[in-house]
Structure 1
Amino acid sequence: MSTTSDKPAVLEGLATVPAATVIIFRDAPIGPPQLLMVQRAKEMRFAGGAAVFPGGKVDPADRVLAAELMPHDDQEIAAARIAAIRETLEETGLVIAIREAVTAEAAAQARKLLLAQGTLATVLETFGWTIDPDRLTLYTHWCPPWDGAFDTRFFIVNLGTGAVDIEIDATENTRLFWASAEEALGLAERGEIKLIFPTARNLERLAQHGKYADVLQDLARHPVTMIIPRRTDRDGEAWIEIEEGRGYPVLSQRAATARRG
């Protein structure tokens, strides 16, 4: 099942939680681009102990800032963009989708301010920064059909050379690392990291492409619509699956081995 991606998820009367995540690319010396991943603290309710992309839920302040800075844009997507920028700074120390040049020192100071004040608006005003929302490309939109599920928009952004400073927040997450999509899948196969169902499927999709430009071409062939994983029964065994035609090479996984979050 899929639907348009510019609306909040309304699934069978269930209450979902709007969220945003960012797949951050950087060039590797050899081979396909690397992606930034964070390993969640085991104590976290959502995806505890799993390796995921930076992100989190959309806060009310994100909606206020989105309405102020992007009044003519779809507000669900605009608020998700704000949340993606804020959560990336909070979790990794990276400043993304800003028009001005940002030094490592300024990024570190901005992160401290964000952690103290809690809103991206304060950071932008203090440092005189301007958001460039078009640098964040909407890549996919997932929402599982259960109460309290995260209604998540995934964005992609390319850092190019990748000469950046990152540092774990040491609260929600315990580790930051760069790996290509194929490398991350290999780590999961060897049991070195754990992946939740949406992360695994998106890594498999990204692993098909050797360049960021190829990812954009794939996106052009598969316009974003909401992806809603479904639980199905195959000969008495439960599976989780997504519909075909969205660019994903693997469409299903046994429910017994799939982590929902």
Structure 2
Amino acid sequence: MSGDPQPETIPAATVVIFRNDPAGGPPQLLMVTRSRNMSFAGGMAVFPGGRIDPADRELAARIAPQFDEIQGAAMIAAMRETLEETGLVIAVKEAVSAAEAADARAMLLETVALAPVLEHFGWTLDLSRLVYFARWWPRFRHERSFDTHFYLYDIGTGAVDIAVDATENTRLFWTSAADALAAADRGEMAVIFPTRRNLERLATFADFGAAKAHAEATPVRTITPKIEDREGGRVLTIPGDLGYPVTEEEISSAMRG
């Protein structure tokens, strides 16, 4: 009914971090396994990210006015959540040592805001290195839904220190998109519907440059999966013109968080 309360929408951001495979194979992506205690996607493997906080919006308005309000805030949230969850400092102009990154993460966990961390270490944001990839707004849940902006980022050689944030996540690992899909098919890890679709898309790229070029040539429109009744059963579908090689999955197998 039109008078029923609508689910809360939570703006969020996530970042797909690329590195070169040390063994010379396809590019590797950084993923985290969420704690089973988390209400959303508990136990699932996802990309680093989380909700956009008011402090992210305030910082974006002050130092990134060239972007619209939500885009600037989403990129800052992606950077902040990456530091918090993995220990990686991304999208800054300055070179960052492993010791500085560890100290910055500890400070972020205390202040719960990125602005004082940037000021303390004298870092300058370079948000242009974050490539806008997709926007997903699934509305499966009755109590709340996440409107998530996806970005791509490349760290090149991958000679970095990472450590899992044990408060929300239980594992932090590098994997190619194809290997992640194979592990999910074997039942070794679980991925929700948006993550699987993005892994399938990412698996088509030979390197970060190809992914970046494809992202820049493909329009970003908000993706809200729909349930359709087919002759063979019900399927969850997404539009077919947004760069995804697989656009539907049987509802019985689709994990929706």
TM range (shorter): over 0.9
Cα distance in structure 1, aligned partners of 2:37 and 2:235: 27
| Aligned counterpart, 1:19 | 12
**Is it true that 1:55 corresponds to 2:49 in the alignment?**
yes
Q: Which 5+ residue runs of structure 2 have no aligned equivalent?
A: none
Select the residue among 74, 79, 82 that pairs with 1:80: 74
Give 1:224 shift: 1.3
Asked if 2 retains the 8 angstrom alpha-carbon contact of 1:31 and 1:210, the reply is no
5 Å-filtered alignment, 1:151-230, equals 151-230=147-226
Aligned to 2:132, what secondary structure does the other structure show? Answer: strand
Q: Deviations over 1:7-56 (max 9, x none)?
A: xxxxx965311000000000013121000000000110111000000000
Range moving further from structure 2, 225-234 or 38-47 = 225-234
Output the CA distance in 1 between the equivalents of 2:7 and 2:44.
25
C-alpha deviation, 1:71, in angstroms: 1.8
The residue matched to 1:16 in structure 2 has which SS?
Answer: strand
Separation in 1, partners of 2:87, 2:13: 17
- Which residue of 2 is the match for residue 255 of structure 1? 251
Partner of 2:63 in structure 1? 69
* Paired residue type of 2:47: F
- How far is 1:72 from its partner? 3.0
CA distance in 1, matches of 2:66, 2:214: 27
The one-letter code matched in structure 1 to 2:89 is V
- Displacement of 1:250 in angstroms is 0.6
Q: Which runs of at least 4 in structure 1 moved beyond 6 Å after TM superposition?
A: none
Give yes or no for contact 1:145–1:230 (8 Å, CA) kept in 2. Answer: no
Corresponding residue of 2:124: 130
| Deviation digits for residues 111-165 of structure 1 (CA, Å, limit 9, x no counterpart) | 0000011000111111111111101111111111355110000000000000000
**What secondary structure is seen at the aligned counterpart in 1 of 2:56?**
helix
Which secondary structure does the structure 2 equivalent of 1:24 belong to?
strand
Output the CA distance in 2 between the equivalents of 1:219 and 1:256: 30
Q: Distance in 2 between matches of 1:65 and 1:172?
A: 24
With normalisation by structure 2, the TM-score equals 0.94
Say what the alpha-carbon RMSD is for the aligned residues.
1.4
Letter in 2 for 1:243: P
In structure 1, distance between residues paired with 2:74 and 2:213: 23
User: What letter matches 2:37 in structure 1?
Assistant: E
- Identity fraction in percent: 54
Larger mean Cα displacement after TM superposition, 20-29 or 214-223: 214-223
TM-score scaled by structure 1?
A: 0.93
State which drifts further: 56-65 or 137-146: 137-146
Q: Secondary structure at the match of 2:32?
A: strand
1:51–1:193: 8 Å Cα contact kept in structure 2? Answer: yes
> Which stretch has the larger CA shift, 63-72 or 140-149?
140-149
